[in-house]
Structures are given as structure tokens and as C-alpha cells.
Amino acid sequence: MLDVRTMSKSFGGLKAVSEASLTVSEGSIVSLIGPNGAGKTTLFALISGFLKPDSGAVTFNGAAITGQRPHQICHKGLVRTFQVVQPFAGLTVRENIAVGAHTRVAGRAAALAAAGEIAQLVGMGAQLDQSAGDLTIAGRKRLELARALATGPKLLLLDEVMAGLNATEIADLVAVVRKIRDSGVTIFLIEHVMQAVMSLSDYTYVLNHGAMIAEGQPSQVTKDPNVIEAYLGHGAAKRLLAMEATADA
């Protein structure tokens, strides 16, 4: 469904994303992991049209979308959420979600009604008439998700949607994400919360210093020495193996 080919982006002298390639198949949940500063959000921004790549191409459902504006890409069915949540603070939850709904629906009443349904779906039904500015971080994350969902996407890019949540909230949101996938939306998520990555993803990509260093099933990838080194530092993989050897002995 989504095909990214050798995407690169530099800011001044810093290469934020370097020849990154990945594929997301329809109906799957794919995750993108990697240490902080690896370039994951930059990659999302490149895919969703907020940044123009220096080189490389993005194809969505067979059509090239490289360099198009975010709202155009949204209309094609690819929507992203933001790592730092961006609610429309002055509006209510319902009005927030309605903005997303308006992508499909022109009438105000219809959009507001659709917003109500989406809110129920993600478990925000009780908060519909609250001001978005009053929500907790968990609420805002959910709102972010609901808004994106309201646009009727085929592919949803979720950027650290679990960050800042406690264990219960994470479990709830994992269930919601699964429900969304089951309703026919493909999901591509950036995540640090390993619990979510392991329980949700069908496939995982690992980014470090802007380059893809591993990909595969989550359980395999987390054992990959390159990945371990990326997170824990040089030589960490050897040390871990040594520790395990002494533990077995």
C-alpha cells in the first residue's frame, strides 16, 4: 500500500534521513522504532508531505505522492498524527473531530454527527462537549487519533501515540488501535513503548541515525545485535550475550 524508496533529507550539514526504504502492506500494522533522534518523525513528515525530500520517492496505492501538500495526501487516504499533540485548543472535542470529518462530509450537521460516532469508537463519548484545551495528555492523544480517523483514512500514521500514558491507558489504546485495523485501516506507527510494538505489529522497521538498520518480525528484530547496539550502545550486544552465557552456566 505504501512504498518508500531511498528517501533522504538533510538539514544543513545534518543528514536526518538517509536512503530509507520501507513497505507497508494493506491491512497490516507496521511499526517504526529506533532511538531518540533517529529521524523517525522526520520520515513521517516526509511521507505525509510536511517536508520535501532531497531524494527518494513515496508511492501510495500505486500513485506517487512525493512532495505533495499534506492536505492533498490526506484526501488520498494517508493521514498522520503528531508526536507533540496539536489539538484545536479553542474548540470542543466534537468540533475538533468534525474538522477531520469534513474531509468526507460537507454538511456541518453531518460532520458533527460523524464526530460523535468516531468519539464513541475511541472511547471519548463522554467528553464530546469538553474544550480540547482541558483534556489530559491521554485525552489529547486519543483526540489526535479520533481526528485522524474521522477523515476516513486508508493508512494511518501514528506518531508515538502511546507516549506519556500509564499502563492501563496503553492497554486501552492498544485495543482501540486493533479495533481500527480490524475495521479496515492500515496502520503505520512510530513507537517507543515496546509493549505496544510487540503486541500490535506484524512487521517492524528500525531506524538509527537516519538509516534503516533492521526490519522483520518484532520478536526477531529486538534480538538483532545491530538494534541492541543502537539502543544500548557499542558493544552492548556482546556484553548481553556474555551475561546470558554466565547466567546459563
Q: Indicate whether 51 belongs to the interface with other proteins (CB under 8 A).
A: no
Q: Would you give the DSSP letter of residue 106?
A: -
d(CA 13, CA 21): 21
CB of 249 to other proteins, least distance (A): 48
Query: Applying CB under 8 A, which of residues 102, 140, 141, 142 lies at the interface with other proteins?
Result: 102
Q: Indicate whether 130 belongs to the interface with other proteins (CB under 8 A).
A: no
d(CA 232, CA 137): 28
Stretch that binds other proteins, among 59-67, 73-81, 162-170, 203-211 (CB under 8 A): 73-81
The site for other proteins, by CB under 8 A, has a size of 33
Q: For residue 173, give Cα distances in angstroms to 14, 192, 199.
A: 35, 14, 12
Stretch that binds other proteins, among 17-25, 107-115, 181-189, 193-201 (CB under 8 A): 107-115
Q: Indicate whether 34 belongs to the interface with other proteins (CB under 8 A).
A: no
Query: Applying CB under 8 A, which of residues 148, 173, 187, 221 lies at the interface with other proteins?
Result: 148
Query: Applying CB under 8 A, which of residues 63, 106, 247, 249 lies at the interface with other proteins?
Result: 106
Stretch that binds other proteins, among 51-59, 82-90, 192-200, 219-227 (CB under 8 A): 82-90
d(CA 217, CA 158): 19
Q: Indicate whether 87 belongs to the interface with other proteins (CB under 8 A).
A: yes
Q: In what order do the strands lie in the sheet with 155-159?
A: 78-80, 155-159, 186-190, 29-33, 203-208, 211-216
Query: Applying CB under 8 A, which of residues 6, 37, 55, 108 lies at the interface with other proteins?
Result: 108
Q: How many CA atoms lie within 13 A of 16 on its CB side?
A: 19
Q: Indicate whether 95 belongs to the interface with other proteins (CB under 8 A).
A: yes
Please, are residues 141 and 62 in contact by the beta-carbon 8 Å criterion?
Answer: no
Q: Indicate whether 100 belongs to the interface with other proteins (CB under 8 A).
A: yes
Q: Indicate whether 52 belongs to the interface with other proteins (CB under 8 A).
A: no
C-alpha cell at 142: 486519543
Greatest C-alpha distance within the chain: 70
Which of 56, 6, 31 shows the shortest CA–CA distance to 204?
31
Query: Applying CB under 8 A, which of residues 103, 130, 131, 199 lies at the interface with other proteins?
Result: 103
Query: Applying CB under 8 A, which of residues 9, 147, 162, 185 lies at the interface with other proteins?
Result: 147
Those residues whose C-beta lies under 8 Å from the C-beta of residue 89, and which sit 6 or more positions away, are 131, 132, 133
Q: Would you tell me which residues interact with other proteins (CB under 8 A)?
A: 48, 50, 69-72, 74-75, 79-82, 86-91, 95, 98-100, 102-103, 105-108, 111, 147-148, 150-151
